[in-house]
Amino acid sequence: MDLVVKAGIAHLWFVTLHSFDDGNGRLTRALTERMLAKSDNSTQLFYSISAQILKQRNDYYQILERTQKGDKDITDWLVWFLQTLEQSLAAAQETTDKIISKSAFGRRIDSTL
C-alpha cells in the first residue's frame, strides 16, 4: 500500500483511538508528517499538512466525526486527507515561487548597482 495512503489511515486510527489524556492531536500530526517524509524518502518535509489541517480545523473535525460514527468506510476521510495534502503542497509551491521571485528581483537590483 502506498505510504501516503498509509499516513492517512494511520492519522485517522491514531486520533480515533485517542491513546493519551493530552497531546493526541499534536502526536498524530507529528506521526503523519513523519510518515509523509518517509513516503518521499526524506528526513524532512518542505510542506506541512499539519498547518493545512489547522487552517481547515472545522472541516477536519467534521470529516473525523462522520468517519468515526459511520459504517467503517474511510473513503471520504482518505479523499479529504489527500485533498488537504494537495493543498499543503500547493501552499508550499506558492511560498517557494515567492521566494524565488524575490531572490531574482534582488539579483537584478544588485546587478544594476
Which tens digits make up the pLDDT trace of 53-101? 999 999 999 999 999 998 989 999 999 999 999 999 999 999 999 999 9
pTM of the model: 0.81
Give CA–CA dist 9/17, Å, rounded: 12
User: Using an 8 Å Cβ cutoff, are 80 and 59 in contact?
Assistant: yes
